[in-house]
Amino acid sequence: MSTQSTPILSVLTEDLLIRVNEKLVQDSDRKIWRLICKEFHRVDSITRKTLRVLHVEFLLTLLKNYTNLHTLDLSVCPCIEDGTITLLLHRVGHSMWARNLKVLNLSRANGLKFSGLEMLVGACKGLESVDVSYCCGFGDREAAAISGCGGLKELRMDKCLGVSDVGLAKIVVGCGRLEMLSLKWCMEISYLGVELLCKKCLELKFLDVSYLKVTSDWLRSIAALSKLEDLAMVGCPLVNDVGLQFLENGCPLLQKIDVSRCDCVSSSGLTALIRGHNGLLQIDAGYAIAEFSGNFVECMQELKNLNAIIIDGARVSDTIFQTISSNCKSLIEIGLSKCTGVTNMGIMQLVSGCVNLKTINLTCCRSITDAAISAIADSCRNLLRLKLESCNMVTEKSLGHLGLHCALLEELDLTDCFGVNDRGLERLSRCSRLLCLKLGLCTNISDTGLFYIASNCSQLHELDLYRCMGIGDDGLAALSSGCKKLRKLNLSYCFEVTDKGMKSLGYLEELSDLELRALDKITGAGLAALVTRCKRLAYLDLKYCTRVDDTGFWALAYYSRNLRQINLSYCSITDMALCMLMGNLTRLQDADLVQLTNVTVQGFDLALRACCVRIKKVKLVAALGSLISSEVLGILHARGCRIRWD
């Protein structure tokens, strides 16, 4: 091999190799590149900018190799804690890796406390973006550590329940150049903290205060942010029209507003907001506004640049569609999920004007028929995403139109549309770019229909066949040969599937999420055949797969080293296999272990002991609460693991 590769390398200089390497986008392609020869591997190491680490044990060597990293993602890497950071900073080539780091994702790194964060922040001088979302131990002290990043521009702190106004004040004072801040679910944050934020961080462009106790006072303060472009306040029960009126005259650059699920907002408040901001690009008012007043519709006329409007759950009339159609010509996305009053006529009017629509959500708009879908397909040739869940009047005709006109369609949700049949799928299969197809509860489809999809939609990476009783092993065989890129597959309650089907699924090497709930025809042999080949499997649901025995679980424990989440409830797994699983699967973070009749208390104790340092979520029967040793529970608790008692 080396004799062959030498001449190539003599022709290709390092500079050229780097250029070629930069053209590789897909992870799998890069992997192949790395494996060619040492020189290629070296080039990849130099040029690599992003790294997402899955196993903590490789972290040390990886960081030694990649010295030019811009982005480091540790969100799926368990066991990150203060000690790890010390080790990384002091043992790895004078922490070269940290020097150029700009983006750091520490989401769900529960083991990381303020001393580790402080070291990290001290070493990574150039940090611009940090994500500490869902770190349950993240509090004011940790926030104080983060505040050492003077140049920080982006910070996500979603669900950092321990952060109070004091922590926010630390960050606000320390990181005055913040442009993006997410405080979603930081329940301790009050008006005082946000008021200070609005006084100190004047560069702020994006602010997320969803689910907080946002009042009119907050909005008065926020209105002073002159550079704010995007404001998200989902599910804020105290936001009302008075508050929105403050925004009317503030935030001159506002482009996106999200007030979905804000119960006290009415169309008059939103009207005021729109009146002040004609340049709005995106409005999300799902489940916030029950009905639209005439004033609102009138105001909509001014929104010439509107890209997206989401009004889920509202009562609409044809007039609003007429207004949107004739004024918002650049509309790309519309969300009408669970809206009442959506008619064929309305949709026809809408698409006659808004021909650029790429995303249409018509979930539960039950009076929609083939006529509306045909109109959409005829007008919106660039359609990418269409959601038609529970649109029962949709038949094969609609799918025919979509297949004919919407060649670009990537995502189609047909869940619970019982008008969909094999013929329809055949017509739909013309959409060869389909990436995601949801056919859950479509009971009229069979292996034949799936065959058409499999043979034409080779790009497909997500397929939902939940409770499609007509699907069997033949369909899966077709799928495994046609859709090689499939990553997510739901086969729950497809009772016909047997070990044979499992074996064919094994050929889907990219498969990462697989739901096999209640497949009572598959056995240990089937599971073994699947897992020996699907090395990327990260999520596996085996609930109610009662016939899978220990041979299958042994194989699982041995091969599926990338498994992150597993549901074993109601399985016939025994003590030994469970302990093997929990001990061997070093990436496992979430396990549902309810109603395991063959597992003893000692078995549970041992299994939990084997994984207690890395597991983050575990579901157990409530009765076990008093039986499992308190020592194990103590360690689990100290590690930030959440136990859900069933």
Partner 1 sequence: MEPNDRLSLHAWANPSSSCNGLPRKMSLENPSFTNFNLQQQEQKWDDTSILNYGIRIEPPFHEFNQASESEYLLSSTCNNQPKVLDQEDGLNNEALQTSKSLDWDPRTMLNNLSFLEQKIHHLQDLVHLIVGRKGQALGGHDQLVTQQQQLITADLTSIIVQLISTAGSLLPSVKHKLSTGPPNGQLGELLFPPLAGMNCVPQPQHGSGSIAVQPQCVTGSKVSDQCNQMDVTGNCGTEQNLSIEEHEMKEEEDADEGENLPPGSYDILQLEKEEILAPHTHFCTICGKGFKRDANLRMHMRGHGDEYKTPAALAKPNKESSSEPVIIKRYSCPFAGCKRNKDHKKFQPLKTILCVKNHYKRTHCDKSYICSRCNTKKFSVMADLKTHEKHCGKDKWLCSCGTTFSRKDKLFGHIALFQGHTPAIPLEETKGPSVSCDKMDGNEASNKSGKHKFQLWLQCW
Residues that bind partner 1 (CB under 8 A): 81-84, 86-87, 90, 113-116, 118-119, 140-141, 144, 147, 165-166, 169-170, 173-174, 192-193, 195-196, 199-200, 638
Secondary structure of residue 370 in the 3-state scheme: helix
Question: DSSP E strands: which ranges in 440-584?
Answer: 462-464, 488-490, 513-515, 539-541, 565-567
CB of 414 to partner 1, least distance (A): 50
Rank residues 244 and 610 by Cβ distance to partner 1 and give the closer one.
610
CB of 213 to partner 1, least distance (A): 15
CB of 587 to partner 1, least distance (A): 19
User: 64: Cβ–Cβ under 8 A, 6 or more apart, which residues?
Assistant: 92, 93, 97
CB of 282 to partner 1, least distance (A): 31
Region of 600 (left: φ > 0; alpha: ψ -120 to 50; beta: rest) is beta
Q: Which two tokens stand for residue 434?
A: 């389909």
Q: Distance between the two ends of the chain, CA-based, in angstroms? A: 57
CA pair distance 581, 153, nearest whole angstrom: 42
CB of 633 to partner 1, least distance (A): 17
Rank residues 119 and 580 by Cβ distance to partner 1 and give the closer one.
119
Q: Which two tokens stand for residue 255?
A: 């482009």
Rank residues 113 and 430 by Cβ distance to partner 1 and give the closer one.
113
CB of 639 to partner 1, least distance (A): 10
Secondary structure of residue 4 in the 3-state scheme: helix
CB of 174 to partner 1, least distance (A): 7
CB of 202 to partner 1, least distance (A): 13
10 Å CB burial of residue 67 (0-12, 13-18, 19+) is middle
Tally of helices (H runs) and strands (E runs) in the chain: 28, 24
Q: For strand 513-515 and strand 539-541, is the pairing parallel, antiparallel, or unpaired?
A: parallel
Rank residues 113 and 609 by Cβ distance to partner 1 and give the closer one.
113
Yes or no: say if 329 and 303 are a contact pair by the CB < 8 Å rule.
no
Phi, psi (degrees; rounded to nearest 5) at 64: -65, -40
Rank residues 191 and 544 by Cβ distance to partner 1 and give the closer one.
191
CA pair distance 365, 351, nearest whole angstrom: 16
Rank residues 39 and 203 by Cβ distance to partner 1 and give the closer one.
203
CB of 163 to partner 1, least distance (A): 12
Rank residues 195 and 302 by Cβ distance to partner 1 and give the closer one.
195
Rank residues 165 and 389 by Cβ distance to partner 1 and give the closer one.
165
Pairs from 93-99 (Cβ < 8 Å, separation ≥ 24): 93/64, 93/67, 95/123, 96/67, 97/63, 97/64, 97/66, 97/67, 97/69, 97/72, 98/123, 98/124, 99/124, 99/125, 99/126
Give me the residue label for tokens 């004011």: 140
CA pair distance 448, 421, nearest whole angstrom: 10
CA pair distance 595, 568, nearest whole angstrom: 9
Yes or no: say if 538 and 563 are a contact pair by the CB < 8 Å rule.
yes
Rank residues 177 and 535 by Cβ distance to partner 1 and give the closer one.
177
Yes or no: say if 428 and 403 are a contact pair by the CB < 8 Å rule.
yes
Rank residues 147 and 266 by Cβ distance to partner 1 and give the closer one.
147
Q: How far is CA 528 from CA 138, 215, 522, in A?
A: 40, 56, 10
CB of 95 to partner 1, least distance (A): 15
Rank residues 177 and 256 by Cβ distance to partner 1 and give the closer one.
177
Rank residues 63 and 460 by Cβ distance to partner 1 and give the closer one.
63
CB of 92 to partner 1, least distance (A): 12
Rank residues 41 and 91 by Cβ distance to partner 1 and give the closer one.
91
CB of 116 to partner 1, least distance (A): 7
CA pair distance 225, 210, nearest whole angstrom: 17
10 Å CB burial of residue 385 (0-12, 13-18, 19+) is middle
Q: For strand 513-515 and strand 488-490, is the pairing parallel, antiparallel, or unpaired?
A: parallel
Rank residues 16 and 192 by Cβ distance to partner 1 and give the closer one.
192
CB of 82 to partner 1, least distance (A): 5
Yes or no: say if 227 and 253 are a contact pair by the CB < 8 Å rule.
yes
Nearest to 81 by CA among 111, 121, 123, 117: 111
CB of 298 to partner 1, least distance (A): 40
